[in-house]
Chains A and B, each alone.
Chain A
Amino acid sequence: MSSTSDSTERLVRTWMASERDEEITEIVSEISNGSTSLLNVVKALGEYLTSEEETSRTKGVELLSVVLGRCPPERLNRQAARVLTSFYCSKLEDSETVVPALKGLVNLTKLPSSTSEDAPNIMNAIFKHVKMKGLVQSVRFHVFTIIDTLMARHRQVLRDMNDDFIGRYIALVDGEKDPRNLLVAFAIDRVIIIEFDTANFVESLFNITFCYFPITFRPPPNDPYGITTDDLRQALRKCLNATPVFGPLAIPVFLEKLAAGSPTTKRDTLESMSICFPVYGSALARSQARKIWNSLKLEIFQPTDPITEQFALRTTQDLVKTIYDSVDGTDSDIEGLARDACEECITILREPEKSQAKPAIKVLCAFMSTTPSVSRFTVAQTAPYLVQLYIQPDNLAARPSILLLLSDLIAAARDSMNVSKSNDSSSSETPLGPYKDEILGIVSSALKVPSSRDPALACLLGMVSIDNLLSDEELGFIVHNVNEILSEESEEAEEASAPALQLLVTISQRSAHYVKEQTLPLLFSMLPDDAPTRDAALDRAKAWRILSALNTLCRPVELFETLVIRLITKLDLLCVPSESTPPQIDHEPRAAYAHSILTTLHQTLLAKVDDGHGDVAKYIENLVSRLFNLFIYSALMSKEDVSLIATDSRLITVAGQIIGTIMQNTAAQRQESYIQALFSAYLNGQVSLITEGYHKLPPTSNFAPLNDSASAQQRNLVILLASAVIPLHKEIPIPVTDLNVFLGSLLTWSIADITANADIQRESAWEMISAILNKRSADVSSFIESMLHEFWPKHIANRSEPVDRRNRATQAWVWISKALLVCNHAQASQFTDIIFSVFDDGNINWTAAKSFGNIVRTDTVLTKQNHASIKILYAQRFVGRIFPRMIDGAKNASELEKQQSYLVGLTSLISSIPKALYVHEMPTLIPLLVRGLDLPDYNIRSQVIDTFLAVAEGDSPSEIITDHAPSLITTMLKNCSVDKMPSTKVRISALRYLGVLPSIVRYDVLHPYKATVIKQLAVSLDDPKRAVRKEAVDARTKW
Chain B
Amino acid sequence: MHFDTDQLREYRFGLLDEQETARIAAHLETCSDCRAELEAVGRQFALLDLLKEQPVVSENLVTSVLHQRRRRFSVASSRMASRQLRRAPSASTTKQDASSTFKRPAFVIFAAAASIAIIFGIFQRGNRSPSRSNTKIADSSVYSVSSVVNPPQPTLAELRAEKPFAPASNIELNVLPRRDDVQLTIYNEEDLTLVREKRKLTLKRGWNWLQFMWSNTLIDPTSLALEPKTHADQIEITQLVYPPRLNELARWTIFSEFDGEADFELTYFTSGLKWNAFYEATLAPDEQEMKLKAYVRVDNGSGEDYENAETRLVVGQINLEEKIAELARRQYAYGSPVNNEWLDSSHVVYDNGGDKNEEAWSYLDGDALFGSMDGYLEQKEILKQALSEYQLYTIEGRETIPDGWGKRLPSFDVQEIGVTNLYKYDEQRWGNSTMRFLSFANTEACKLGEDPLPNGTVRVFRNVDEASSFVMPQQQPNVHNEAGSFVYNLSYVGATDIKYIPVGEVVELELGAAQKVTVEPKLMRTRTENYEFYTSDNQPDSNELNIFAPSPRKGDISGWDEITDWKLEITNTRDLPVEIEITRSTNSTDWEISTDTPYEKYDATRVRFTVRLEPRSKKEINYELTVHHGTRSDG
Is this pair of chains taken from one and the same complex? Answer: no
Interface residues of A (CB under 8 A from B): none
Interface residues of B (CB under 8 A from A): none
